[in-house]
Amino acid sequence: MLSKWLQSRKITTGRRSLQQEAIPLRKHLKDEAKRKKAEARINGDNISNKRQRTDPRLEKWELTVGIEIHAELNTACKLFSSASAEPYDQQHATTPNSRVALFDAAMPGTQPQFQVATLLPAVRAAIALGCDVQHKSGWDRKHYFHWDQPNGYQITQYYKAFAKDGSLTLRASDGVPAGDLNGADSLVIGIKQIQMEQDTAKTTNVGSSAYHIDLNRAGMPLIEIITLPHIHSPQTAAAVVRKIQAVLRSVDACVTGMELGGLRADVNVSVRQRGTDGTGASYSGVSGLGQRTEIKNLSSFKAVEDAIVAERDRQISVLEAGDVIEGETRGWTLGATETTRLRGKEGEVDYRYMPDADLPPLVIGRDLVQHLTQTLPTLPDAMEVELQEIYGLSLKDAKTMIDVDEGDRVDFFETAVEHVLSSDDEASDSDVAANKRKVGKMVGNWILHELGGLLTTQERSWDDVRVTPKKMSDIIVLLQGKEITMRVAKQLLTEVFEQEPCSEPVPTIEQLVDAGNLRLRPLTQRGYEELAQSIVDASPDMVKAVREKGQKGKIMWFVGQMVRTGDEGTVEPEKAKEVLERLMARNGAP
């Protein structure tokens, strides 16, 4: 978060030398995993995690979870007023109460005016989540008195939601444990309904007993997605939230994700002994549940998982001590080991739900639903398949491409692939599919690992990337045509990545290559052999490792030495490897 704050104010923490090569993303992830593993050993986390996994109580008790996800809709105005709901820019981000209409502040005599444009992203979300969009729905007042709700009630759709009976399909690749899949390829989580509602104002504590209220958020358009209690592990719960966020982003329904506050989750947690009917509680057709508690306002995937683990373990301990679970609302703080009681659980009677007298029913035309269905963008599951089958990416790379940077890398990827393919005039129609897979793998590797490595080492966000798909493809085309070496290609990518924004025309990749004399000028066969021989003669220990110990992988060390020793743009690694292998074989290497 600190790095994003610094970037937003154009404050840098130092620049890397142009000659320093970027750390590939895979290496960075490996190093990060090693670091976390080492920290876990020091802190004893490995021991506690092992105990948690083998906790015999989990064989006796079954966890059940339902989730309510509140997502901020991508609209220009608020739900019942014309006040701006667009994301803040830096100029207005710190100006409280600057986007407030009279109705948002509950001024006497004002009435809600439903803003039709807010319906479009809501319906797209409902269609994407497989819901039945209702032709007619209604508005209800949920009464409670708190300073974050000026009217004394929230307008929502408790009784007649605009979308019902949806579903979400999850697989092992989404993070679902094998035990939840129970041998199946996928797991389906039911969605009870999706309702539109207002957001509340933002409260900021400025002292021991003083609070500031910012009405900019009051009345912002939300959808609440309510799942059925079909979830039986913390990992699956986090996977549900993560997958719903990806779906909402893919159809441009949600402004920002959990990491920026545009999506929050409440989880309902209960436990019961396996093979029993719990307390006999039921919810929307699911019976035999234990008494549930609700944990409010979880703002990260980790918080969802950790809070459920803590509440599950607390409830088991309470029940095994002979006590009963109280229906209540609880809170969670990152880094805590237990949830905390906030208040007794409110019910339908407490909120005094009643139809809103100032708003007519919401009527959604079948033609609108049909149009939005036909024009819906590609959903994450379909995109994942497309990236694998059409572009040749692995499942892991396809998921990463979709998940990171709000899916922006997918658009970048597809554009770059098309640029590379358009440069090949000799490809026949029969080669198109195979060529697209070959090019897709190459471009995917450059975007995820080379460009991703630069983003990681320089702590930049995707929004700050100055490499265009055209420039990326120009580098790859030159590399494919053996006009530049891999080392030069990476150097060019780094140089373009680090270019400062300017009003003057920036040089093309071809101009950069010519200006730096970077075009490949391969050595003659004799030149390769002489350079290889000089490296071999100067490295007897490495030669011994290859010849006597059979460590053939050491050949690549010699290749690296040839690339570094030769003049820039004269040594091709593939050719150098061929020459070295012949040289070693001729000298008796195994």
In this predicted structure, the answer to whether residue 90 has a pLDDT above a threshold of 60 is no
**From the DSSP assignment, how many helices (H) and strands (E) are in the chain?**
22, 18
pLDDT of residue 213: 92
Q: Structure tokens of 7?
A: 């970037």
Model pLDDT for residues 136-148, shown as the tens digit of each residue: 999 999 998 888 8
pLDDT of residue 10: 43
In this predicted structure, the answer to whether residue 122 has a pLDDT above a threshold of 90 is yes
Q: How far apart are CA 407 and CA 166, in angstroms?
A: 23
In this predicted structure, the answer to whether residue 15 has a pLDDT above a threshold of 90 is no
Q: How far apart are CA 196 and CA 226, in angstroms?
A: 12
- N residues, the chain: 590
Residue 263 DSSP code: E
In this predicted structure, the answer to whether residue 28 has a pLDDT above a threshold of 80 is no
Give me the residues paired with residue 151 across strands: none
In this predicted structure, the answer to whether residue 8 has a pLDDT above a threshold of 60 is no
pLDDT of residue 80: 97
Q: Which residue has the higher pLDDT, 424 or 302?
A: 302
Q: How far apart are CA 564 and CA 585, in angstroms?
A: 23
pLDDT of residue 30: 52
For all residues of the chain together, what is the average pLDDT?
Answer: 85
How much is the average pLDDT of 146-166? 94
Q: Structure tokens of 258?
A: 């959990």
Q: What is the pTM of this model?
A: 0.78
pLDDT of residue 6: 35
Q: How far apart are CA 453 and CA 490, in angstroms?
A: 11
How much is the average pLDDT of 457-471? 88
Model pLDDT for residues 505-554, shown as the tens digit of each residue: 788 899 888 888 888 887 888 888 888 888 888 888 888 888 777 777 78
Q: Which of 155, 160, 153, 118 has the alpha carbon at shortest distance from 138? A: 160
Amino acid symbol at 121: P
pLDDT of residue 42: 52
Ranges 13-22, 96-105, 181-190, 276-285: which has the least confidence: 13-22
Ranges 81-85, 208-212, 302-306, 337-341: which has the least confidence: 208-212
Ranges 247-251, 256-260, 326-330, 412-416: which has the least confidence: 256-260
pLDDT of residue 63: 95
Model pLDDT for residues 469-509, shown as the tens digit of each residue: 999 999 999 998 888 888 889 999 999 998 877 667 788 89
In this predicted structure, the answer to whether residue 39 has a pLDDT above a threshold of 60 is no
399 by DSSP, 3-state: which? helix
Model pLDDT for residues 552-582, shown as the tens digit of each residue: 778 888 888 888 887 777 888 888 888 888 8
Q: How far apart are CA 533 and CA 17, in angstroms?
A: 32
Burial, 406: exposed, middle or buried (Cβ in 10 Å; 0-12, 13-18, 19+)?
A: buried
How much is the average pLDDT of 369-377? 96
pLDDT of residue 576: 85
Give me the residues paired with residue 281 across strands: 289
Which parts of 201-357 fold into alpha helices (H)? 234-250, 301-320, 348-351
Residues 223-234, buried b or exposed e (16+ Cβ, 10 A)? bbbbbbbbbbbb
pLDDT of residue 34: 58
Place of tokens 């398949």: 385
Q: What is the dihedral of CA 495, 499, 504, 505, to 10 degrees?
A: 40
Give the Å distances, CA to CA, from 334 to 247, 300, 310, 318: 26, 9, 11, 22
Place of tokens 């030398």: 17
Position 162 confidence tier, pLDDT thresholds 50, 70, 90: very high
Q: Which of 65, 401, 368 has the alpha carbon at shortest distance from 246? A: 401
Annotate 426-475 with three-state secondary structure: CCCHHHHHHHHHHHHHHHHHHHHHHHHHHHHHCCCCHHHCCCCHHHHHHH
Q: Structure tokens of 572?
A: 């091709």
How much is the average pLDDT of 328-343? 90
